[in-house]
Structure 1
């Protein structure tokens, strides 16, 4: 495993589990396909965070997280239709001078978007971001990745209502078996509230099957609604009505 003199490098774990070090300037987005978390989850007595695994609809697999705050950002990434790949603890960014590594940092998430742009995410509480050393480390990451045309996002939290709505819709992220019902709702629901949709389609399907299907289509963005207010039976649905 080489150290790249006077430069920036990524240390990654490939599918075989082997560690590999690549000069950042030479890394292409497609080279990141299939990489594994560089660091495994840990548990210990007195631990203040709550690590775990989340089943991602984007990845069709479990993605790890180190804290509840990281889980919140992971939910938003999974809900984002522009995100095609999510990797937790994706690499160790290293800067070397001569034969010595002088700086290193492991981001929380790597997001690859449909247009093949990259967002690298670090999740920190607002209290932690008040620390000068933390801000300095993130400034270094931002500048290092910007030279490679990668975006660095430092995330603390978002609007509580938005997050609550996305967390709720995530409960309906798994594919549903009744494709014909989804097609019916996709055509008929736009321009109506959830309650009106249930009345409109009540003779053709049951509420027990209809409401989960509406929420699944909202998760998939086949239907749209305002997420600035709590979801309810009165939520107005938008979308592309069928001709």
Structure 2
């Protein structure tokens, strides 16, 4: 490939020790040095690994409807699904791809190593974050080495890197509930405008919903606005309930 010729004749650049293997937006397998490939829109890349499902496997794979971009994104465990859910609820995130590339390098003994990060995240400001999802108690020495190398690769080209584990149980449960109302079909402008007026000051959830109209019709709009962070409640300390205080604006975090 031309990219290899350019690499051979050019001086070393940050990231030259790493190569990427990826599936481009046209479905074609590509390979090249990270230093030349970093600008590829990996948020549109195809998954480089197949999501498997077999009897007796420890984790569960599936597809998450990512409401922010209107696309389905793959996951290979409940931890990954919950992380996708959190990313979907983050207003700073534009789109996410799963298993976006193989990152290839040589270890200290010059043996080939490769690693496929779990997610590539494109934020609304144009920056990128690579995410690996692994529970804290399931990181062995080889995993730690791969995560450290991935962090170095990301730093070399200006990407962020995060190794994340399980979400807080209460927060995750609240987000799972709200995620059921993440689809745009739950937006109703009239109810939304009324809810913003009612919750201009902190008001208990059900009291505010009832002030707008029949809770059966109002609550889905309210939950959608909480998901979008147009309304705010404490989602970390206790389960969301009819007495939870809700107010306009702020964030879920």
Per the alignment, residue 194 of structure 2 pairs with 184
Q: Does residue 196 of structure 1 match 2:192?
A: no
Q: Secondary structure at the match of 1:37?
A: coil
Secondary structure in structure 2 of the residue aligned to 1:237: strand
1:234 maps to 243
Q: Secondary structure at the match of 1:218?
A: helix
- 1:157 deviates by 1.1
Q: Deviations over 1:70-93 (max 9, x none)?
A: 111111111111111111111111
Supply the distance in 1 between the matched residues of 2:99 and 2:141 (Cα, whole angstroms).
23
Which 10-residue stretch deviates more, 33-42 or 61-70? 33-42
CA distance in 1, matches of 2:41, 2:26: 14
The TM-score with structure 2 as length reference comes to 0.85
1:218 Cα deviation after fit: 0.4
Q: Greater shift after overlay, 170-179 or 82-91?
A: 170-179
Q: Deviations over 1:51-101 (max 9, x none)?
A: 01111112201111011111111111111111111111111111269xx97
Would you say the 8 A contact 1:186–1:217 is kept in 2? Answer: no
- How many corresponding residue pairs? 234
Give the TM-score, by structure 1 length.
0.88
CA RMSD of aligned residues (A): 2.1
**The one of 29, 50, 63 aligned to 1:53:** 63
Structure 2 unaligned regions, length at least 5 = 9-15
Cα contact 1:94–1:101 (8 A) shared by 2: no
Give yes or no for contact 1:29–1:116 (8 Å, CA) kept in 2.
no
Displaced runs of 4 or more, over 4 A: 1-6
> Over residues 2-23 of structure 1, what are the superposed CA-to-partner deviations in whole Å (9 max), with x where a residue is unaligned?
7667632221112221111232
State the secondary structure of the residue aligned to 2:46: coil
Aligned to 2:221: 213
Given that 1:10 and 1:21 are in contact with CA atoms closer than 8 Å, whether structure 2 keeps it comes out as: yes
In structure 2, the partner of 1:95 is: 105
Q: Where do 1:1-243 residues align within 5 Å?
A: 7-29=17-39, 31-95=41-105, 102-129=112-139, 131-175=140-184, 176=186, 178-191=188-201, 192-201=203-212, 205-228=213-236, 229-239=238-248
Would the aligned equivalents of 1:89 and 1:108 in 2 still touch at CA under 8 Å? yes
Q: Deviations over 1:144-194 (max 9, x none)?
A: 211111121111112111111111110000112532222221232232221
